């Protein structure tokens, strides 16, 4: 692409789950993705997973069309097994987030899970202590 605008939306390399290929978004892909993300807030995660799977398969098929039913099935499996990572990568590529924001969110979620585990471990201990104090 010869101009600065065209270069900003050019090919992006998809390296997830052993698939290392360049994909080329076309006009309308960003709008379709934005619509998916906005509607997912209303319809939920399951809806997003179902519809995003169709979306990303369309992009992959455009550049790497399956040659037969077996390859079509393999693409379906690939998308299903790698769905969360595909969504995150696509969010970065369509500028919904950055890798730094994803890492920050992952660390925050990990911290929350650690605190929840600590609280669950403390609760039985506190209950046992209370039981000892009431017996007498």
> What is d(CA 12, CA 86) in angstroms, rounded to the nearest whole number?
13
What pLDDT sits at residue 49? 92
Domain ranges for the chain, please list them: 4-97, 99-136
Structure tokens at 19: 């698939």
pLDDT digits (tens, 9 = 90+) for 112-133: 988 888 888 877 666 666 666 6
pTM of the model: 0.71
Who contacts 25 (Cβ-Cβ below 8 Å, separation ≥6)?
9, 12, 59, 93, 94
């Amino acid at each position: 692409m010869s101009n600065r605008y065209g270069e900003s939306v050019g090919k992006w390399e998809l390296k997830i789950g052993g698939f290392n290929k360049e994909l080329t978004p076309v006009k309308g892909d960003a709008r379709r993705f934005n619509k998916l993300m906005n509607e997912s807030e209303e319809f939920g995660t399951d809806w997003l997973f179902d519809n995003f799977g169709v979306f990303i398969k369309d992009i992959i098929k455009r550049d790497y069309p399956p040659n037969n039913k077996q390859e079509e099935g393999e693409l379906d499996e690939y998308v299903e097994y790698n769905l969360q990572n595909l969504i995150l990568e696509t969010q970065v590529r369509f500028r919904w987030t950055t890798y730094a924001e994803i890492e920050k969110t992952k660390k925050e979620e990990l911290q929350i899970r650690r605190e929840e585990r600590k609280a669950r471990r403390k609760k039985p201990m506190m209950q046992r202590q209370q039981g000892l104090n009431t017996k007498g």
